[in-house]
Amino acid sequence: MWIDSHCHLDAPEFDGDRAAVVARARAAGVQQIVLPAVAAFDFDTVRELAHAHGFVYALGIHPLYVMQASEQDLTLLAEQLERHRSDPRLVAIGEIGLDFFVPGLDAERQRFFYLEQLKLARRFELPVLLHVRRSSDQLLAGLRRLPVCGGIAHAFNGSAQQAQAFVDLGFKLGFGGTLTFERSQQIRRLAAELPAESLVLETDAPDIPPHWLYKTAEQRSSGEAMGRNEPAELPRIAESLAALRGWSLGQTAAITSANARVALPRLGGLIEPGGPA
């Protein structure tokens, strides 16, 4: 069984065929999917999707959305976490973090929302799903100031030293479509060399397409659309990890799924992953 540890199934790209996307994922052996929220407007959506399809969800405010967010959204997040704290499908707080790649974002505002959400993770004893983009050291500083019960550093792209620092703080590291590009040498090196127990798989669908769905700038300018990523791609993405580690696909599924359950303990409490609830 595969676990997609990060997928935005609520994204508008899936509005036309969401049920078919889920069916394809299950046919490919992806039986559990983690659905993170990105802002207050999709708290209800991800929860409802998780219950409708037997998946799990996280609630949080993404750093790319903090410019439109208010402190009232943090209050709403706390209220939602309190209201649903006994929901076994609520597995984490996320997607939260820091993004110092996208220009024009207020760094201090990002840090405020990040730290406030770490406080909520501590209050509700939930792991976190971290957005990490040119921000590993700053994220680590926040975690040392406000330790939480682990989680996943999603789409990890830092150094080996930063990777080990996250692992030392109880985090697993998420690898997805970028892993399939031969030019992604640093990420592939990390995936090959990090301890096996630190790795989880994700698609980040519909984002971060694997190489077989990617279109170059020249192709896009000529009118070719980028192929849409979806959770059914996870086993094929996993082939890259298996090749790097010298594992069989069965080993890769077993190891990464076990790691996801460690990172998100409530996953282990679901007797029938993927079954509707």
- Residues annotated in the binding site for a divalent metal cation, as ranges? 6, 8, 95, 131, 154, 204
Name the CA dihedral angle for 56, 61, 253, 186, rounded to a multiple of 10 degrees: 180
| Six token digits for residue 277 | 């609830």
Annotated binding site: 6, 8, 95, 131, 154, 204
Q: For residue 276, which of 88, 51, 89 has the smallest C-alpha distance?
A: 51
Are residues 265 and 152 in contact, defined by beta-carbon separation less than 8 angstroms? no
Are residues 36 and 55 in contact, defined by beta-carbon separation less than 8 angstroms? no
Q: For residue 117, which of 76, 156, 155, 83 has the smallest C-alpha distance?
A: 76
| Six token digits for residue 174 | 């998420």
Instruction: Please name the amino acid found at residue 16.
Output: G
